[in-house]
Amino acid sequence: MTESVRVYHNARCSKSRSACQLLEEKGVQLDVVEYLKNPPSRDELADVLAKLGLPAEAIVRKGEDIYKSDYKGRSLSNDEWLDALAAHPILIERPIVVRGDRAVVGRPPEKVLELFA
């Protein structure tokens, strides 16, 4: 398999590392985006969300300090959540794996295999 898939990855996250390992074992070529070092643009996030079929709030990590201090208990529109994710990439759930016009959040890591079923 020579097709490349994009992985929005945080190397400090065990789930993200496990998802990458699963894909590599399947022979998948990975285009790894360390999104904390190279944050996706707002437009890129909107594109990924469209492929996920999810609203922006669905990929917000609600355990993060910035969420608790700035967003907890607030009712934001999808556009406002997109702005928050673009401004604070630590809030983006990981890993997100994109293959063609489809994407999944790799939680649990085995979920990434759905892109190849």
Answer yes or no: 13 catalytic.
Answer: yes
**Catalytic residue chosen out of the listed positions 13, 22, 32, 36:** 13
Q: Copy the structure tokens of residue 14.
A: 């065990």
Handedness of CA 106, 110, 113, 117 (dihedral sign): negative
Task: Say if CB 68 and CB 101 are below 8 A apart.
Answer: no
Residue type for position 8: Y
Active-site residues, by number, are 13
